[in-house]
């Protein structure tokens, strides 16, 4: 018979405070903090990369997300040619680069075109046993995969500008959730 945990989940304020403390402990730079419409989180910089730390409304986890958005229309066109032509080798390579055993990814789609990727890892600050190590590993995982993805995209489509901090309302999910 499987053992069940009788430990209660943490309250929102305790989970949020713990996440903030752990982010400070690993030395990230805080850019902004939000807490509106039952969604809370932080924008932080990990090295040179902006990272979104967000607790979606009603969820008992926090998403650590690294977003890569192409801003050059010619780069977007090159990227979308692979999908339009159903270039299985290129699509496989993109999937391989943005996938790891520790992270998930989604394509960012705007007006029917892939304009970027979001690398994500969930952490569970509401649950007993959440540690600073969990937060640090999540940050390192998304930044490592994201930085590798940027290098691959530059090799694949040429040097281009990437926007890591797309504007989005903090009250509702942005393009990363499409």
Comparing 47-51, 57-61, 100-104, 163-167, the range with the smallest average pLDDT is 163-167
What pLDDT, on the 0 to 100 scale, is given for residue 71?
Answer: 87
The alpha carbon torsion through 123, 128, 130, 131 (nearest 10 deg) reads 180
Pick from 43, 76, 22, 14: nearest CA to 170: 43
DSSP character at residue 9: P
> What is the reported pLDDT for 178?
37
Residue 103 within a domain: yes
pLDDT of residue 7: 79
Q: Which domain holds residue 148?
A: 12-167
- Classify residue 3: in a domain, yes or no: no
pLDDT digits (tens, 9 = 90+) for 87-105: 999 999 999 999 999 999 9
Report pLDDT for 173: 44
Q: What CATH number is associated with residue 62?
A: 3.30.1460.10
Of 21 and 4, the structure prediction assigns the larger pLDDT to: 21
Q: Specify if 173 maps to a domain.
A: no
pLDDT in tens, 131-173: 999 999 999 999 999 999 999 998 888 766 666 554 444 444 4
Alpha helices in the chain (DSSP H): 12-25, 73-84, 88-98, 132-157
Cβ neighbour number for residue 90 with a 10 Å cutoff: 15
For the residues 1-20, what does the mean pLDDT come to? 82
pLDDT at 125 over 90: yes
Q: Structurally, how many domains does the chain consist of? A: 1
Average of pLDDT values for 82-88? Answer: 93
């Amino acid at each position: 018979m499987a053992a069940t945990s009788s430990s209660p989940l943490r309250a929102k304020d305790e989970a949020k405070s713990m996440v903030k403390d752990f982010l400070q402990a690993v030395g990230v730079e805080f850019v902004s903090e939000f807490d509106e419409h039952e969604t809370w989180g932080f924008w932080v910089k990990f090295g040179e990369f902006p990272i979104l730390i967000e607790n979606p409304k009603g969820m008992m986890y926090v998403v650590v997300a690294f977003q890569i958005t192409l801003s050059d229309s010619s780069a977007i066109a090159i990227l979308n040619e692979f999908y339009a032509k159903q270039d299985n080798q290129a699509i496989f390579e993109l999937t391989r680069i943005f996938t790891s055993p520790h992270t998930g990814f989604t394509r960012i789609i705007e007006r029917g075109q892939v304009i970027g990727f979001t690398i994500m890892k969930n952490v569970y600050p509401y649950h007993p046993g959440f540690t600073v190590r969990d937060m640090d590993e999540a940050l390192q995982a998304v930044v490592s995969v994201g930085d590798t993805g940027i290098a691959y995209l530059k090799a694949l489509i040429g040097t281009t500008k990437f926007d890591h901090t797309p504007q989005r309302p903090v009250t509702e999910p942005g393009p990363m959730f499409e």
